[in-house]
Chain A
Amino acid sequence: MRPHRTRLGLIIGKTILAFAGFMAVFPLAWTALNSLKNNVDIITRVPRLVFSPTFDNIRYIIGRDSVMTGLYNSVIACCCAVLIGVVLGLPAAYTVARYPNRFAGDIQFFVLSLRFLPPVAVAIPLMVIWLQIGLYDTLPALIVTYSLLTISVIMWLAIPAFQAVPKEIEEAAFVDGYGAYSVFWRIALPVAARSLIGAVAFSFVLVWNEFLIALMLSSSNAKTLPIVASELSQQGMNVPWGILNASVVLLSLPPLLFLGVLSGFLNSVFRQKKT
C-alpha cells in the first residue's frame, strides 16, 4: 500500500510543480503573443491561439516619439545611476568588509534602513526641492535620486561578496609589497567580480523597474519607459490592446536579459553559505 501512495504523491507533486512553472511564464508569453495580434484577434471571448501575425503593433511602438524618449530617458538614468552606485558603493563596501571598525555594524544597518523609507516620503520633498532649484522634470534630478537607491543596494550586496574573498590572498599581496589601493584593484575586485556583477545587475533591474519616484519627478521631458507604458494603459477600455502588449514586452526585455547573470549570482551566494 505504502509505495503506491508515495507514487501517487510523486505524481501530484510533479503536476503541481509543472503547473507553477507554467504559471510563471504563461502570462508573459501570452502578452508577447498578443503583441503580434490584430485587435480583432485579441478582443475575443474565446482566447485565440491561431491567428495571422502582424508586426504593426511593434512598428507603431518603435515609431512613437514618446516611447523612444522614454526608452532613452530610462537607459540614461539607469546607466548613470548604476555607474555612480558602482564608483561610490564598491569601494565603501570593500572598506566595511575589510577594515573592521566600531561603526561597521551601524553603517550596514544605516544602508539597509534606507530601504525602509517609503518611496512617497522621499519623492514628495524631493519634488518640492527640485521644483525650487529648477531641476524638476530633468534627468539629472532623476539620476541623483536614483543614486541613493543604487549606492545603498550595491553596498548592501557587495559587503558579503568582499567578505567572501579569502583573506590569505590579500595578506599575501601585502607581503609582496602591494599597497592598500592596489590590493583592492588587483586582488579584491577581480576575485569578487562574479558576485559583484550580480549585485550591479540587481541594482540596474531595481532602478529600471522603479515607478513611483519617476512618476512624481517627471511631467513631460524626463518620463521614463514605465511611466510612458502606464500612460498607454490608462486610456480607457477602447485602447489598442495590441500596442499596449507590445509596449509591455519592450519594457520587460531589458531586465530579462539579466536572467542568466542573476540566477548565477543567486547560486554563488548560496554556495558560499554552504562552505
Chain B
Amino acid sequence: MRRRSSLPVTFLVPTLAILLVLSMVPTLYAIVIALQNRELSSSDYSWVWLSNFIDLFLDRRFLNAVWVSVKWEIVTVVATMVVAIGLGVLMFEVASPRLRNIYCLLFIIPVLLPRVSAAFVWKFAYHPLYGIATYPYRLITGGLIFDPLSKPSTALFAVASVDVWQWGLFFAVIVLKLLETLPPQPIEAARLDHAKRWQIHAYVTLPMLKAPLISLMFVKMIESLRSFDLIYVMTRGGPGVATETLDMYAFSQGFIESGKVSYASAMAVLMMIATVITFTMLWKRVQA
C-alpha cells in the first residue's frame, strides 16, 4: 500500500533539491571566490588560482589562528565534558527527583541565551573595576585589579568559560537523563560488592554509556566551531591575536581590516575541507 503512493516523491524531492541548491551554491562559489582576487572596494577581479592558499601558509597570523582554533576546540570540548559528567553524576547521586527537575530546568537556561547575550553578560561580569565575577578577587586582595579579558594568558580561557557555562550545564542534564535510562541491576550488583560510589560510575555506568557520550562529544566538537559570536563581542580576537580563531581572522581580513574577500574565502574553504573530512571520518567511526 505504501509503495504505490506518490508521497515519497512529492514530500522528499523538493526539499532535498532546495537543500542541495542552498548548500552547494555557496560552497562551490566559496571555492570560486578563493581562486580569484576579489576585494570589497572594487568590482573587477581576475583569476589568481592557488596564490591565496600559498599566501595563507606564509601568513604567520593565519598559522596563529589555526593554533588558537585548535586550542579553543580542545579546551571547550574537554571542559564541557568534564563539567557535564561531573554534574550529571552528582545530580544522579545526591539530588531527589524533585530537585533534579529543578536543576534540569536551571541548567538549560544558559544554552538558550543568544551567544551575544551570554557574551555580554560575562563581559560585564569580568569587568576589572565593576564586574561581579572579579568582585571576590577585589575583595580578597583589597582592591587589586584583575582583568581576565585583556591578559593574553587568560583571555582565551575567560571566553571559553562562557562556552562551558552554556554547554557544560546543558550537557549535564543530558548525562543525568542517560544515567536514568540505565537498568538498575548492574549498579546494585556493584554496590553489593562494596564498590565505592565513584568506582561504580568509573567502572560500571560510564562505560555502559560510552556510545552516547561519544556522540555527545561529537556534537560539542561541531558546536565549538561556532565560537565567532562569543569572541567577537568579548575580545574581538584580542588582546593582540591571543583569541583570534580562524573565523574571527577570516572575518577581520574580509570585512574589517582590508576587505580581501578572496583571501577570507580561501581561509573559509580550508576550514570547510578540514572540518568536513574530520567529521565525516569521526561520524563513520561513531556509527560503526
Contacts and interface: CB of A to CB of B under 8 A. Distances in A.
Interface of A: 6, 9-10, 13-14, 16-17, 20-21, 23-25, 27-28, 30-31, 34, 42-47, 88-89, 91-92, 94-96, 98-99, 101, 107, 109-122, 124-129, 144-145, 147-148, 151-152, 155, 174, 179-181, 184, 205, 208-209, 211-212, 215-216, 226, 229-230, 233, 241, 244-245, 248, 251-252, 255-256, 258-259, 262-263, 266-267, 270, 273-274
B8 interface: yes
**Shortest Cβ-Cβ A-B pairs, 4 listed:** A180-B5, A91-B11, A125-B29, A92-B15
Nearest to B11: A91
Given A117-B272, A118-B275, A263-B108, A45 B129 contact: yes
Interface of B is mostly: helix
Interface in B85-130: 87, 90-91, 93-95, 99, 102-110, 112-117, 120-125, 129-130
Contact of A20 (B19, B33, B87): B87
B94 A117 contact: no
Nearest to B99: A17
B135 A46 contact: yes
Contacts, number: 272
Contact of A255 (B23, B94, B113, B120): B113
Contacts of A258: 112
Contacts of A211: 114-116, 228-229, 232
B276 A116 contact: yes
Contact of B138 (A45, A107, A208, A241): A45
B276 A113 contact: yes
Contact of B2 (A144, A174, A262, A263): A174
A124 B104 contact: no
Contact of B30 (A111, A124, A208, A273): A124
Given A116-B222, A233-B233, A251 B169 contact: no
A229 B105 CA distance: 26
B82 interface: no
Interface of A is mostly: helix
Given A99-B7, A120-B251, A180-B5, A129 B173 contact: no
Interface in B1-54: 1-2, 5-8, 10-12, 14-16, 18-19, 22-23, 25-27, 29-30, 32-33, 38
B215 to A, nearest CB: 11
